[in-house]
Structure 1
Amino acid sequence: MRRFLSAVVLAVALGGSVAAAQQSIIDGWAWSTLVPSIAQTDILGTHLRELRNEQERRSTPPDVSRLGFTPSKARRSANLAAFVEKTRAADPNGAADLQRLFADGDIIERIGAAIAPVGLRTDNLADVYALWWITAWQATRGDNDTLGRDMYAAVRAQAARALNGAGGPARASDAGKQELAEALLVQTTLIDAAVEQAKGNPARMRQVRAAVAKSAQGMGLDMAAMEITGGGFVPNGKR
């Protein structure tokens, strides 16, 4: 999401925090530490294995409304504070940088404004999953260009089918949905910034690509086994 998410981090005066955030992605805390159990980490992997079913890809649009939630500013403050504390034990420097980032205005609102042009919102899990999925997949290719609205919409529909099929995320409370969404949004932004900062440094980019691919495995996703099209993600037969 170049020109979008990277700007959210790069526009704030955090000294060396972007480099620290990049190292945090490489060290692996950003996924395993932040994302709550509601994520049900096998759901997108299961969905990917079902993508060979052409009828499923052509089915009627999923009910995205079940995945929306009404965000609370108080819950957001609590969530961001919890992300910092969860990070502190594994990466004190990264935690301090996150704290400074979160202190400089409402980062979720900034992300919301950044992704609105491609038709995504921060208060719906389908939108947020789609954003994370695409950003992580691009990162494993060393890329963070902004794609067309049709691609984001197609992946949003795929994510909605997977989340609705899993049941738990759709049935979660507003608080549970918000916690998951904000964890994914923070990680997505750090991934995007890590890719942007690694450009021009092949060795560093290889580290970022490998780290994001490993994190995606935690969601049951083999990023090397898929490609993105105007109709969303499809298997590429490489695995």
Structure 2
Amino acid sequence: MRHARIIVVGFSLCLPVSASAQADFAGPLSPGAFEATLNMGPIAETLRRQMQRPVPQSNSGKQAPAATKPVSVADFRYTPSKSRRSANLENFVSKTKAVDPKGADTLAKLFASQDIIEAMRPPLARYGLRIDNVVDAYTVWLISSWQATRGTTDDPSPASTAAVRRQVMNAMASAAIVTTADDASKQEMAEALLLQAALVESAVEQSQSDPDQLQAVGRAAAQGARGMGIDLAGMTLTDRGMVPAQ
């Protein structure tokens, strides 16, 4: 997403990479630093089923998932709270500190310098995405994580972004744990996903001149996605959304 810069919002993080033989990525991208508050298993399972038969486009922007009433992306918005956002960012830093104190300090300084979530609003809007919608946050995270495993930040097409968004919407529509969640839970989940996506995108950008580090970032993104029930290696991003990799 280099040209539209949906995720990279003008900041640079010094995210260290281990010099070990495994070149495991250390710091805020460590899976141990990222925990969504809602169970992602049902969403991942539904996405896997959808990949076998991509959801067709709809001019109305609405779909009717099996066994559910028709829904739209707007059904997954929430009313954000500044105090909850501050608490969410502090929690993210705290979890990062458990695996990388230096990275946590870098994050704390970043979060103190600007409202990093609010800064994502304009670039996301270019793709019709919002910072206060859990479907949009998951869409951004999924595309950015998949791109990280390929070592790229190229812009996805508007069609592919919209198609993934529809897939995510239908998956979440079938997951009661999301549809019944309150605003606080949705905000915590969405902001954790947006932060993770921003960090992944920033790390990929910074690693372009270092193939070993770039591969380490990709492995970290793939490992984090597996923790969410997603196998990025088995996916390909197309204008029909995520489809099984050939």
TM-score by length of 2: 0.85
Between the aligned residues of both structures, percent identity stands at 39
Cα distance in 2 between the residues matched to 1:132 and 1:108: 13
Q: What's the counterpart of residue 15 of structure 1? A: none
SS in 2 for 1:27: coil
Equivalent residue runs for 1:139-178 within 5 Å: 139-178=148-187
Q: How far is the alpha carbon of 1:21 from its aligned partner?
A: 6.4
Q: How far is the alpha carbon of 1:8 from its aligned partner?
A: 3.1
Structure with the bigger percentage of helix: 1
Q: For residues 52 and 104 of structure 1, do their structure 2 counterparts lie closer, same or farther at Cα, with a shift above 3 Å needed?
A: closer
Q: For residues 21 and 44 of structure 1, do their structure 2 counterparts lie closer, same or farther at Cα, with a shift above 3 Å needed?
A: farther
Q: Does 1:235 align with 2:244?
A: yes
Q: What's the counterpart of residue 197 of structure 1? A: 206
Alpha-carbon contact 1:28-1:215 (below 8 Å) kept: no
RMSD over aligned CA atoms reads 2.0
Q: How far is the alpha carbon of 1:66 from its aligned partner?
A: 2.6
Q: How far is the alpha carbon of 1:47 from its aligned partner?
A: 2.1
Q: What's the counterpart of residue 33 of structure 1? A: 33
Q: How far is the alpha carbon of 1:156 from its aligned partner?
A: 0.8
Cα distance per residue 1:44-71 (max 9 Å; x no partner): 43123312553x6238633223311000
Runs in 1 of length 4+ with deviation above 2 angstroms? 5-8, 19-23, 27-37, 51-54, 58-62
Query: Which residue identity lines up with residue 50 of structure 2 in the other structure?
Result: L
Cα distance in 1 between the residues matched to 2:196 and 2:116: 12
Q: What's the counterpart of residue 78 of structure 1? A: 87
Q: What's the counterpart of residue 56 of structure 2? A: 58
Cα distance per residue 1:141-166 (max 9 Å; x no partner): 00011222222111111111111111
Q: What's the counterpart of residue 234 of structure 2? A: 225
Cα distance in 2 between the residues matched to 1:28 and 1:167: 33
Cα distance in 1 between the residues matched to 2:124 and 2:106: 23
Alpha-carbon contact 2:235-2:243 (below 8 Å) kept: yes
Alpha-carbon contact 2:236-2:244 (below 8 Å) kept: yes
Cα distance in 1 between the residues matched to 2:195 and 2:17: 13
SS in 2 for 1:227: strand
Give the gaps of 5 or more residues in structure 2: 19-23, 64-70
Aligned counterpart for 2:139 among listed residues 130, 133, 140: 130
TM-score by length of 1: 0.87
Cα distance in 1 between the residues matched to 2:57 and 2:155: 27
Aligned counterpart for 2:11 among listed residues 9, 12, 37: 9
Q: What's the counterpart of residue 48 of structure 1? A: 47
Q: What's the counterpart of residue 217 of structure 2? A: 208
